[in-house]
Amino acid sequence: MRVGLHVSISGSLSAAIDNAVERECSAFQIFTRSPRMWTAKEISKVDAQEFKDKLSASKIDRFATVAHMPYLPNLASPNSASHSKSVSVLIKEVQRCGEIGIPYLVAHLGSHMGQGEDKGISQLVKAFEKAAEVENDVMILLENTAGQKNSVGSEFSQWAEIFSQLNPKKRFGVCLDTCHAFAYGYDLRTESTVTQTFKKFDDEIGWENLKILHLNDSKGELGSNLDRHEHIGLGKIGEKGMSAGIKLANKTNIPIILETPIDGTRDDVGNIKKVIEIA
């Protein structure tokens, strides 16, 4: 099993690896920069090499490491200025991942801002294909959404429609978030419903395109469209559903990343131990 957390880069990029090892991770996710700003300091060659050297020295497989796009960009935006600014950040993040040797970049699909799903999808495809012109081997992973108003890519068939339009194929994959899927309306509470939901995913998108599983329980009810993550087994999905999802991911060695809350209920290490316990 390859399982880990979203870890902090506070202090330096390579500090993320220390944080991952300290938390007994065999996978991890980072922001390469502040997720709440449009601009970012360039990664120096020294910092990039330090990150790669420290990762090589750890027991963490490089293909179990992933970066996540910052919060501000909206790649589905119909506004030309906002869209252009968002695409610039995406391109830069693909470049930054290449500099430090992270193979995957997870991207939210964003909002069409009331201008319709077709417009949002068109903007997304333009954004992703522009970013794929960056000459490195970083794969962009499209993450499903929870069904909030004006969002795209919540329903597996629409997610598949977006994904199918992207070229070159080798530059794109998907990241499935269990909380988002459940919040949209895909039942994940029992072994049977997890099997059914993952079969729908396989039929629509293809299991071979799944590169990262965001394993998160849900504070919201089934179909609530509420993107609120809960500790593993303590939410509305529950321990049985979480266990079934872990087992399916492990069958094909899909890295599992937890984005669980930071609060007094359970710490990061506790959530990883819970995943291992119920796997």
Q: Catalytic amino acids?
A: 36, 68, 71, 108, 143, 177, 180, 214, 227, 229, 259
Residue 175, phi then psi, degrees to nearest 5: -125, 120
Amino acid letter at 223?
G
Sequence-distant (≥ 6) Cβ neighbours of residue 260 within 8 angstroms: 5, 216, 217, 229, 230, 231, 232, 266, 268, 271
Q: What is the C-alpha to C-alpha distance for residues 34 and 228, in angstroms, rounded to an integer?
A: 21
Burial class (CB in 10 A: 0-12, 13-18, 19+), 217: buried
Cα–Cα separations (whole angstroms), residue 134 to 12, 91, 130, 163, 216: 25, 7, 8, 18, 31
Question: From the CA atom positions of the chain, what is the Rg in Å?
Answer: 18
The greatest distance separating any two alpha carbons of the chain, rounded to the nearest whole angstrom, comes to: 50
Contact call for residues 106 and 29 (beta carbons, < 8 A): yes
Q: Quick one: CA torsion of 64, 46, 88, 33, rounded to 10 degrees?
A: 60
Burial class (CB in 10 A: 0-12, 13-18, 19+), 64: buried
Q: What is the C-alpha to C-alpha distance for residues 228 and 17, in angstroms, rounded to an integer?
A: 26
